[in-house]
């Protein structure tokens, strides 16, 4: 079978290489996390398919690189037009594949896919500019040149949104692309490939190889024909990729996990703090940026906990296609078991699980109840390791010094949320936090012009705005002397 029907929409299950559909003899099985429905058998790529895809991308590179940013931008905007035309189909397919809320996919995620494409297309045309500068009469001119073939490896928690966050700047920079989507959620990348054909993207400029990380992924990142590797995923996988990329000195951008603090200062608006904290259950907790460690001042801890639990009690867990649902299933049985393992071990160690802590027996399957662990023992895995599920911890602090030490006390540094009613106090705290992004009295306000990435083990490098082009392009400085001219 080369095509499956998902919510009545045909989705190709083969790779997309050099503008053609390519089938592998071997497949892997794709099921829906909503209820375990069998979705289809997907072509399972490895070295052979990766070699073909990188070759196709290398052949397509010179012509794509030779186009102007305006020409490339026109095609990216056309792809965005098709994304918008097929927005409902994309949202439905993504929900079936990864279990994310349909209403979020319709209102936020898929519009952001189109926005990724339009934003980076326009940025390359209008904003990618550095003023010339003078060195003793010599002119320095900075330019961003296409670099070659970018390998993009993406996770399952927001599959097409995170893929296009890389595809768009890579293509706008004049690179060609080989994408390896996550094996648990391959469908929207394949559907997207068809939209690139409709939009007139030349064959070989964008390629998709499906398969397991240890097979297709490993073959791709070890390939000597790449100019860049951009990876979003977990820290252990990034370490494997970094070792492999080292052989070819392929530059890597890593967007990795987090264990971010959600900080409630004693001067915070408690209602706002409780709302922001409950938002950390979004996408069933499968958000890298989630502030999963609630750190609350001891003087207001009881009042905050009451407000938090009152709000959390209103969350409705259920089928992600139901517009009333706030929390859907976890993405996969393996991931569900991992989350349950963290919570069970915390309980066995005597942690005080004041909310949830178990699968939702009414729904069965992969639905895990939103969970709150109160005052976990310092240094225990539930407060130091990324659970990546609907599991929050709550710890109290007495002084700012204690808070900063707790907040910065993991190996991660992706994000932080600070809730405070006092600007000076908030400012004093944010200056001391180690994090790529800090939100003060808000969460998830994202502007694609902003640098995005993690400190410490949460990442290497930054993407977004100029930072994306600094990575995907070869940044060049041309120094022109005032002398030696014949005119
Ligand atoms: P993962 O590391 O298991 O897999 C990510 C991707 O890497 C998948 O496509 C997988 O097939 C591939 N892969 C696995 N082994 C590989 C190998 N040896 N060589 C090449 N590729 C390989 O991560 P995941 O479980 O899919 O995603 C969850 C993780 O992603 C969490 O840690 C989360 O915090 C992180 N994440 C980070 C961001 C961010 O922007 N910082 C965003 C979303 C998710």
Q: What is the pLDDT of residues 398-424, one digit of tens each?
A: 999 999 999 999 999 999 999 999 999
- 3.40.605.10, 3.40.50.720, 3.40.50.300, 3.30.565.10: CATH of 3-256+454-477: 3.40.605.10
- Catalytic residue, from 183, 252, 262, 288: name it: 288
d(CA 371, CA 27): 36
pLDDT at residue 136, as a whole number: 98
Structure tokens, 15: 């790779």
Q: What is the mean pLDDT of residues 337-345?
A: 98
d(CA 230, CA 163): 10
d(CA 103, CA 98): 14
Closest Cα partner for 191 from 2, 9, 1? 9
d(CA 468, CA 463): 4
Asked whether residue 81 carries a pLDDT value surpassing 80, the answer given is yes
Q: What is the mean pLDDT of residues 103-112?
A: 98
d(CA 470, CA 174): 13
Q: pLDDT category, 131, cuts 50, 70, 90?
A: very high
Q: What is the mean pLDDT of residues 14-43?
A: 98
Residue reference for tokens 């026109």: 74
Atom of ligand 1 nearest to the CA of 212: 11
Ordered by start, the domain boundaries in the chain are 3-256+454-477, 261-440
Ligand 1 proximity of 185 Cβ (cutoff 6 Å): no
Q: Are 219 and 423 in contact (CB under 8 A)?
A: no
Ligand 1 proximity of 292 Cβ (cutoff 6 Å): no
Q: Please give the mean pLDDT across all residues of the chain.
A: 98
Ligand 1 proximity of 213 Cβ (cutoff 6 Å): yes
Is 288 a known active-site residue?
yes
Q: Are 13 and 42 in contact (CB under 8 A)?
A: yes
Q: β-strands 27-31, 38-43: how paired?
A: antiparallel
d(CA 215, CA 32): 22
**Percent of all residues in the chain with a pLDDT value above 90, rounded to a whole number:** 99
Ligand 1 proximity of 252 Cβ (cutoff 6 Å): no
Q: β-strands 252-255, 228-232: how paired?
A: parallel
Structure tokens, 94: 């993504």
pLDDT at residue 214, as a whole number: 98
List pLDDT tens digits, range 421-456. Answer: 999 999 999 999 999 999 999 999 999 999 999 999
Residues in the chain: 487
Q: pLDDT category, 10, cuts 50, 70, 90?
A: very high
Angle, in degrees to the nearest 10, between helices 301-312 and 270-278 = 50
Asked whether residue 166 carries a pLDDT value surpassing 80, the answer given is yes
Nearest alpha carbon, ligand 1 atom 20: 217
Ligand 1 proximity of 153 Cβ (cutoff 6 Å): yes
Structure tokens, 442: 């808000």
Atom of ligand 1 nearest to the CA of 238: 2
Q: What is the mean pLDDT of residues 44-63?
A: 98
d(CA 340, CA 354): 15
Is 255 a known active-site residue?
yes
Ligand 1 proximity of 42 Cβ (cutoff 6 Å): no
Structure tokens, 252: 């890597």
Q: Are 461 and 253 in contact (CB under 8 A)?
A: yes
pLDDT at residue 302, as a whole number: 97
The CA-CA-CA angle for residues 26, 29, 35, to 5°, reads 175
Nearest alpha carbon, ligand 1 atom 22: 213
Q: Are 341 and 359 in contact (CB under 8 A)?
A: no
Q: Are 165 and 463 in contact (CB under 8 A)?
A: yes
Asked whether residue 1 carries a pLDDT value surpassing 80, the answer given is no
Looking at residue 202, the DSSP 8-state letter turns out to be P
Closest Cα partner for 61 from 186, 196, 177, 179? 177
List pLDDT tens digits, range 169-191. Answer: 999 999 999 999 999 999 999 99
d(CA 434, CA 414): 8
List pLDDT tens digits, range 256-285. Answer: 999 999 999 999 999 999 999 999 999 999
* Cβ neighbours, 10 Å, residue 390: 30
**Percent of all residues in the chain with a pLDDT value above 70, rounded to a whole number:** 100
Q: Are 394 and 355 in contact (CB under 8 A)?
A: no
Helix (H) or strand (E) holding 317: none
Q: What is the mean pLDDT of residues 210-224?
A: 98
d(CA 33, CA 39): 10
Give 297's strand partners.
Answer: 397
Asked whether residue 111 carries a pLDDT value surpassing 80, the answer given is yes
Look at the domain 261-440 and name its fold. Aldehyde Dehydrogenase; Chain A, domain 2 (3.40.309)
pLDDT at residue 156, as a whole number: 98
d(CA 162, CA 156): 9
Q: Are 363 and 317 in contact (CB under 8 A)?
A: yes
d(CA 120, CA 133): 25
* Cβ neighbours, 10 Å, residue 409: 18
Residue reference for tokens 């012009």: 449
- Catalytic residue, from 94, 183, 255, 386: name it: 255
Q: pLDDT category, 63, cuts 50, 70, 90?
A: very high
The whole model's pTM is what?
0.97
pLDDT at residue 432, as a whole number: 98
d(CA 17, CA 8): 25
pLDDT at residue 487, as a whole number: 82
* Cβ neighbours, 10 Å, residue 209: 31
Q: Are 53 and 209 in contact (CB under 8 A)?
A: yes
User: Which spans in 99-158 are helix H?
Assistant: 102-104, 110-122
């Amino acid at each position: 079978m080369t095509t499956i029907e998902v919510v009545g929409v045909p989705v190709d299950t083969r790779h997309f290489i050099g503008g053609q559909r390519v089938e592998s003899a071997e497949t892997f099985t794709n099921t829906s996390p909503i209820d375990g429905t069998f979705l289809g058998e997907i072509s399972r790529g490895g070295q052979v398919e990766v070699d073909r895809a990188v070759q196709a991308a290398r052949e397509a590179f010179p012509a794509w690189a030779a186009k102007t940013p305006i020409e490339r931008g026109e095609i990216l905007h056309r792809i965005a037009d098709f994304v918008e035309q097929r927005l409902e189909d994309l949202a439905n397919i993504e929900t079936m594949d990864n279990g994310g809320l349909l209403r979020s996919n319709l209102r936020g995620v898929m519009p952001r896919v189109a926005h990724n494409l339009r934003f980076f297309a326009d940025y390359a045309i209008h904003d990618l500019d550095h003023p010339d500068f003078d060195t003793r009469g010599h002119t320095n001119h900075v330019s961003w040149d296409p670099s070659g073939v970018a390998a993009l490896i993406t996770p399952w928690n927001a599959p097409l949104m995170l893929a296009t966050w890389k595809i768009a700047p890579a293509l706008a920079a004049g690179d060609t692309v080989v994408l390896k989507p996550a094996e648990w959620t391959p469908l929207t990348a394949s559907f997207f490939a068809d939209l690139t054909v409709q939009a007139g993207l030349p064959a070989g400029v964008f390629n998709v190889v499906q398969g397991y990380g240890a097979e297709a992924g490993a073959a791709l990142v070890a390939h000597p024909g790449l100019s860049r590797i951009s990876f979003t995923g977990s820290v252990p996988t990034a370490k494997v990729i970094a070792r492999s990329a080292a052989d070819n000195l392929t530059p890597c951008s890593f967007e990795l996990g987090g264990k971010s603090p959600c900080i409630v200062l004693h001067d915070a608006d408690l209602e706002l703090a409780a709302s922001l904290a409950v938002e950390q259950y979004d996408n069933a907790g499968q958000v890298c940026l989630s502030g999963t460690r609630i750190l609350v001042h001891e003087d207001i801890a009881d009042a905050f906990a009451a407000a938090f639990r009152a709000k959390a009690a209103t969350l409705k867990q259920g089928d992600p296609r139901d517009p009333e649902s706030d929390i859907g299933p976890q993405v996969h049985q393996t991931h569900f078991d991992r989350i349950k393992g963290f919570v069970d071990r915390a309980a066995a160690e005597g942690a005080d699980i004041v909310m949830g802590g178990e699968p939702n027996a009414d729904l069965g399957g992969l639905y895990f109840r939103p969970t709150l662990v109160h005052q976990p023992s310092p240094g225990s895995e539930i407060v130091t390791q990324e659970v990546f599920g609907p599991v929050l911890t709550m710890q109290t602090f007495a002084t700012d010094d204690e808070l900063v030490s707790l907040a910065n006390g993991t190996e991660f540094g992706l994000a932080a949320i600070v809730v405070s009613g006092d600007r000076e106090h908030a400012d004093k705290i944010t200056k001391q936090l180690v994090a790529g992004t800090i939100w003060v009295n808000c969460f998830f306000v994202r502007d694609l012009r902003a640098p995005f990435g993690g400190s410490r083990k949460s990442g290497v490098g930054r993407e977004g705005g100029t930072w994306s082009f600094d990575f995907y392009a070869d940044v060049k400085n041309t120094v022109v002397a005032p002398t030696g001219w014949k005119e």
